[in-house]
Amino acid sequence: MSKDISELEEKLNKEKGIYTDFQNDMTYSEYLHLDSILSSQKRLSGHHDEMLFIIIHQVSELWMKLLLHELTSAIQAIQEDKLQAAFKMLARVTKIQTQIIQAWDVLSTLTPAEYLEFRDKLGQSSGFQSFQYRQIEFALGYKTKHILKIYEKDTKLYEQLEKAYNAPSIYDVAIHSLAKAGFDLNPNMVNRDYSVTYGGDETVAMAWKEVYQNVDKYWNLYQLAEKLVDVEDWLQQWRFRHMKTVERIIGFKKGTGGSSGVNYLRQVLDHRFFPELWDLRTSL
């Protein structure tokens, strides 16, 4: 072992180009603002496992920030008919989703007895109030007006969420792409109220079915559809892991934010963001 360490030290000593003088230059820590990030884990209970609880949620919020960055850019790219760029962004979204899903595996190491030691310190705060998660739902087309009331405390945030609530979702702009390709769609679907959750339309279903029956002719639209299915598939897996982790830790207790907890999480599993893309698998 000592021989291996000596060899490693010798190799490092030969790395004469390694920069060590940062008196006048930016460091890695400064670039990433690590002083701010690593000092943001403030336990209210002093319990050992509260650190796990805080970090898992903070990390998930960081991943959601990147997910939103990619998703909103993908929406814009589709609107501008830059589908190849959108495909790359949506592929990255699904990879980000796998990271968020795996976070539940770490949190599930928290036992019910351990969580009860600090749960009361959370007050009414809850992941249910995550504004970034609401933005993701809005960007995917699931619009819930009453949820906005949660954010009235912060005027700037409320305005930001209201704007996202009224904006077209990624499925809306995908439907616009179908119209641009010449498909005869219901005008009410192309120019609709984006604040209303999309519920499906026969003309949209027929258009997507034709895309899948003529893949070579509509290759870009076909790829777009499959990227959207990937995103929804992973989101539903995230929702399922969330539900099972909550059930594992608190059973069927109410959530700290007042929701019904597991029962609420089970209900949202039934919602489909892009219904025609799932239905056509049966109708093809």
Domain limits, the chain: 27-282
Residues 47, 114 contacting (CB under 8 angstroms): yes
Residue 3 has pLDDT above 90, yes or no: no
pLDDT grade for 99, boundaries at 50, 70 and 90: very high
pLDDT of 185 reads 97
Q: Is 56 annotated as a binding residue?
A: yes
pLDDT grade for 58, boundaries at 50, 70 and 90: very high
Q: Which amino acid is at 114?
A: E
> Among the residues of 214-272, which ranges form H helices?
219-250, 262-268
CA contacts within 13 A on the Cβ side of 137: 26
What single-letter DSSP state applies at residue 24? S
Stretch 59-65: mean pLDDT: 97
Q: Is 176 annotated as a binding residue?
A: no
Residues 247, 114 contacting (CB under 8 angstroms): no
Highest mean pLDDT (candidates 102-106, 119-123, 147-151, 220-224): 220-224
Residues 169, 140 contacting (CB under 8 angstroms): yes
Residues 127, 58 contacting (CB under 8 angstroms): no
What b/e string do you get for 251-279 counting C-beta neighbours within 10 Å, with b at 16 or more?
eeeebbbebebbebbeeeeeebbbbbbee
CA contacts within 13 A on the Cβ side of 230: 19
Q: Is 170 annotated as a binding residue?
A: no
183 φ, ψ to 5°?
-75, 140
Residue 269 has pLDDT above 70, yes or no: yes
Q: Is 128 annotated as a binding residue?
A: no
Tell if the pTM clears 0.85, that is, is over it: yes
Q: Is 271 annotated as a binding residue?
A: no
For the stretch 67-95, pLDDT in tens is 999 999 999 999 999 999 999 999 999 99
pLDDT of 126 reads 84
Residue 157 has pLDDT above 60, yes or no: yes
CA–CA gap between residue 254 and residue 244 (Å, rounded): 14
Question: What does the mean pLDDT of the chain come to?
Answer: 92
Q: Which amino acid is at 93?
A: V
CB atoms within 10 A of CB 234: 18
Stretch 149-160: mean pLDDT: 93
pLDDT of 12 reads 66
Q: Is 53 annotated as a binding residue?
A: yes
For the stretch 235-255, pLDDT in tens is 999 999 999 999 999 898 887
CA–CA gap between residue 42 and residue 40 (Å, rounded): 6
pLDDT of 263 reads 86
CA–CA gap between residue 91 and residue 164 (Å, rounded): 22
Stretch 172-178: mean pLDDT: 98
CATH architecture for the domain at 27-282: Up-down Bundle (1.20)
pLDDT grade for 63, boundaries at 50, 70 and 90: very high
How far is residue 75 from each of residues 69, 82, 84, 228, measured CA to CA in Å?
Answer: 10, 10, 12, 11
pLDDT of 16 reads 72
Residue 195 has pLDDT above 60, yes or no: yes
pLDDT of 2 reads 64
Residue 259 has pLDDT above 80, yes or no: no
Residues 94, 188 contacting (CB under 8 angstroms): no
pLDDT of 281 reads 96
Dihedral sign, Cα of residue 56, residue 103, residue 131, residue 248:
negative
Mutual angle of helices 219-250 and 202-213, in 10-degree steps: 110
Q: Is 150 annotated as a binding residue?
A: no
For the stretch 213-222, pLDDT in tens is 999 999 999 9
What single-letter DSSP state applies at residue 38? T
> Among the residues of 15-154, which ranges form H helices?
28-32, 34-37, 50-79, 83-107, 112-116, 131-140
CA–CA gap between residue 65 and residue 32 (Å, rounded): 15
